[in-house]
């Protein structure tokens, strides 16, 4: 019997235990230390940027990155409406206003032609656009081949929200390396975790130095605690960096397990017309979450029906992010929409995707879906 399968739980084992214990025993507990700088170096090497700054969350990394590219109060910042709320919240922290743009319904990633149109309109309205923040949705990179020239032509810096996408790539280049600055998250549900944490990655070493300064209360190098501006307490601790280093050693392995799981879902749903995998054609995804889209008109059932069937068997699923333009907190924000994010919200379902799922758990999930599909395809006995 399958019990209590979660969507994307942490995948922690003996390697993490040994790294964490070694850091604890080294005495580097309060709060910076050698694991912190090593973690930054290793992440920068993995992403292919000149440097990195480890912070307490992906949200903090977004905040510092927006400040780093010069976003100011009163600016407009373009954010996809389909994202986790942190992307929009970080914009508000700076005093700028998020303006939401719709996604491509097949991938969930930012709709680049629509972004281009939005930037044209904002320019015509005389708005100063401080940044565009593409989000690499569910572990798949946005279409940077199309996006980067659009932002470059508009003279707007790109802050890449790669919180979900560490390990993914686009044309061989790693997620996180596309914008002027990139953001990673090591929250508990992400592809790798420090229990909570994030990283700013960039080639711009002065931006990184400033991020590091702001993340440590903007403390000047003086024994008496000198501060010339308002900083933040955003630094990651050395202990959590040790946990991150162990997870990074296992990143490829964990990605491989998620990919295998996605392939098994793909095989299961392949014969079902009306069900497709979101972003299925992206072979460079890190496969963080496998999301299906269910078209009731073709298959006769809704995503919520499958969700209820699985919930009754203690298997967790989730709708995709509720679009920002539907959130009460952002009801007053401007937007340019096509209905694509609304469609994904109505018809999408994220399936258990964690790398720590055991074979019996995976078997239980696939079996429960198979049972549901069989019942749905059986001739109705009414
Ligand atoms: C998780 C996530 C974040 C925030 O990361 P935290 O580490 O939880 O602060 C930001 N953006 C996206 C798209 C995310 O999925």
**Is there an atom of ligand 1 within 6 Å of 276 CB?**
no
Is the CB–ligand 1 distance for residue 86 below 6 Å? yes
- Structural domain spans, the chain: 14-250, 252-376
Ligand 1 atom nearest residue 137's Cα:
13
Measured distance CA(317)–CA(308) in Å, rounded: 9
Measure Cα distances from 155 to 15, 119, 128, 149, 179 in Å: 45, 10, 10, 10, 13
User: How many other C-beta atoms are found inside a 10 Å radius of the C-beta of residue 328?
Assistant: 6
To the nearest 10°, the Cα dihedral for 86, 92, 93, 96? Answer: 130
Q: Whole-model pTM?
A: 0.97
CATH C-level class of 252-376:
alpha beta
Say how many Å lie between the CA of residue 374 and the centre of ligand 1: 37
CA of 84 to the centre of ligand 1 (A): 6
pLDDT attached to residue 366: 98
Instruction: Tell me which residue has its CA closest to atom 2 in ligand 1.
Output: 163
pLDDT at residue 382, as a whole number:
42
Residues in a beta bridge with 318: 350
* Cα–Cα distance, 86 to 59 (Å, whole number): 6
CATH dotted code for 14-250:
3.40.640.10
Q: Are strands 97-101 and 335-336 parallel, antiparallel or unpaired?
A: parallel
DSSP string, 158-221: BEEE-TT-TT-EETTEETTSSSSEEEEE--TTSSS-SSS-EEEEES-HHHHHHHHHHHBTTEES
**Residue 196 contacts residue 57 (beta carbons within 8 Å):** yes
The residues, any chain, with a CB within 8 Å of residue 126's CB and separated by 6 or more, are: none
Q: How far is the CA of 58 from the centre of ligand 1 (A)?
A: 5
**Residue 39 to residue 42: CA distance in whole angstroms:** 5
Long-range CB contacts (< 8 A, 24+ apart) of 302-306?
302/347, 303/346, 303/347, 303/348, 303/349, 305/372, 305/376, 306/349, 306/369, 306/372
Q: Is 198 in the pocket of ligand 1 (CB under 6 A)?
A: yes
Ligand 1 near 185 CB (within 6 A):
yes
Per-residue pLDDT of the chain (382 residues; tens, 9 = 90+): 546 899 999 999 999 999 999 999 998 887 788 999 999 999 999 999 999 999 999 999 999 999 999 999 999 999 999 999 999 999 999 999 999 999 999 999 999 999 999 999 999 999 999 999 999 999 999 999 999 999 999 999 999 999 999 999 999 999 999 999 999 999 999 999 999 999 999 999 999 999 999 999 999 998 899 999 999 999 999 999 999 999 999 999 999 999 999 999 999 999 999 999 999 999 999 999 999 999 999 999 999 999 999 999 999 999 999 999 999 999 999 999 999 999 999 999 999 999 999 999 999 999 999 999 999 987 654 4
Beta strands in the chain (DSSP E): 51-55, 76-80, 97-101, 129-132, 159-161, 169-170, 173-174, 181-185, 198-202, 219-220, 226-227, 275-277, 290-294, 335-336, 348-351
Q: Could you tell me the distance, in angstroms and rounded to a whole number, from the CA of residue 60 to the centre of ligand 1? A: 9
| Atom number of ligand 1 nearest to Cα 62 | 10
Question: Phi/psi zone of residue 368: left (φ > 0), alpha (ψ -120 to 50 degrees), beta?
Answer: alpha
CA distance 175 to 167: 7
CA 189 to ligand 1: nearest atom: 1
Mutate to test the pocket of ligand 1, among 58, 61, 234 (most ligand atoms within 8 A of CB): 58
């Amino acid at each position: 019997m399958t019990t209590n399968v979660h969507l994307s739980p942490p995948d922690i084992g003996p390697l993490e235990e040994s790294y964490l214990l070694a850091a604890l025993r080294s005495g580097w507990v309060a709060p910076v230390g050698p694991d912190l700088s090593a973690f930054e170096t290793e992440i920068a090497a993995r992403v292919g940027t000149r440097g990195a700054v480890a912070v307490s969350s992906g949200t903090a990394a977004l905040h510092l990155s927006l400040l780093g590219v010069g976003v100011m109060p009163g600016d407009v910042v373009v954010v996809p409406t389909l994202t986790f709320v942190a992307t929009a919240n970080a914009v508000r922290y700076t005093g700028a206003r998020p303006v939401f743009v719709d996604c491509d319904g097949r991938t969930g990633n930012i709709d680049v032609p629509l972004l281009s149109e939005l930037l044209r309109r904002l320019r015509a309205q005389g708005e100063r656009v401080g940044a565009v923040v593409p989000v690499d949705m569910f572990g798949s990179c946005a279409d940077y081949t199309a996006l980067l020239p659009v932002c470059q032509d508009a003279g707007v810096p790109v802050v890449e929200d790669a919180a979900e996408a560490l390990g993914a790539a686009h044309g061989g280049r790693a997620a996180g390396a596309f914008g002027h600055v990139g953001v990673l998250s090591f929250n508990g549900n992400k592809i790798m975790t420090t229990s909570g944490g994030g990283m700013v990655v960039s080639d711009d070493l002065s931006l990184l130095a400033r991020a590091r300064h702001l993340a440590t209360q903007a403390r000047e190098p003086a024994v008496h605690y000198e501060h010339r501006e308002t900083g933040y307490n955003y630094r990651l601790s050395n202990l959590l960096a040790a946990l991150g280093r162990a997870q990074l050693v296992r990143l490829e392995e964990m990605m491989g397990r998620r990919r295998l799981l996605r392939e098994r879902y793909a095989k299961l749903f392949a014969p079902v017309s009306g069900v497709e995998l979101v972003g299925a054609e992206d072979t460079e995804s890190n496969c963080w979450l496998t999301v299906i889209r269910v078209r009731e008109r073709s298959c006769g059932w809704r995503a919520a029906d499958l969700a209820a069937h699985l919930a009754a068997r203690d298997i967790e699923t989730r709708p995709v992010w509720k679009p920002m333009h539907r959130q009460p907190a952002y009801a007053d924000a401007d937007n340019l929409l096509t209905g694509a994010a609304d469609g994904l919200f109505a018809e999408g379902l994220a399936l258990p995707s964690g790398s720590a799922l055991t074979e019996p758990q995976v078997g239980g999930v696939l079996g429960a879906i198979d049972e549901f599909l069989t019942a749905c395809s059986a001739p109705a006995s009414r």
